Amino acid sequence: MISTFFLAIVVTSLATYLSRLLGVATSQKISEDSKIFRWFNCLAYSTLAALIARIVIFPSGMLADVDFNLRLIIVLLCIAMFFITKRNLVYPTIFSCVLLSTLSAFFKI
């Protein structure tokens, strides 16, 4: 059983570091202004947006106990904070955690 875990760690590590190595090897040839670079950037942002929408609309676990309107308000406030803080991700992340825990305690259903 230990050998299975070891094999899983080795295989996943190889897959992770091989993709990073290929990214480093090919990154010098890709211009930041190229269409393919912009396409991957849009793909990454759309995937992130879809995951956030899924978490807000169809939550699981303890987040499912929080009212939808409250989740939506917190997301909108965090998006506003993201732009106010000049696209810094740290402040909205901490703000969302504090706001969600505080407001969900006050508006317990």
Give tens-digit pLDDT for 29-61. Answer: 778 888 888 898 899 999 998 998 998 899 998
Buried b (16+ CB within 10 A) or exposed e, 12-39: eeeeeeeeeeeeeeeeeeeeeeeeeeee
Distance CA 74, CA 106 (A): 14
Would the pTM of this model clear 0.85, i.e. be above it? Answer: no
What is residue 109's predicted lDDT score, i.e. its pLDDT? 53
Q: Are 67 and 109 in contact (CB under 8 A)?
A: yes
Residue 3 φ then ψ, to 5°:
-65, -30
For residue 63, the tally of other CB atoms under 10 A from its CB is 13
Q: Are 68 and 53 in contact (CB under 8 A)?
A: no
Q: Are 53 and 47 in contact (CB under 8 A)?
A: no
At residue 77 the predicted structure's pLDDT band, cuts being 50, 70 and 90, is: very high
Highest mean pLDDT among 2-6, 26-30, 50-54: 50-54
**Predicted confidence (pLDDT) at residue 12 exceeds the cutoff of 60:** yes
The mean pLDDT value of the chain amounts to 88
- In the block, residue with structure tokens 């396409």: 39
- Domain assignments of the chain as residue spans, ordered by start: 31-106
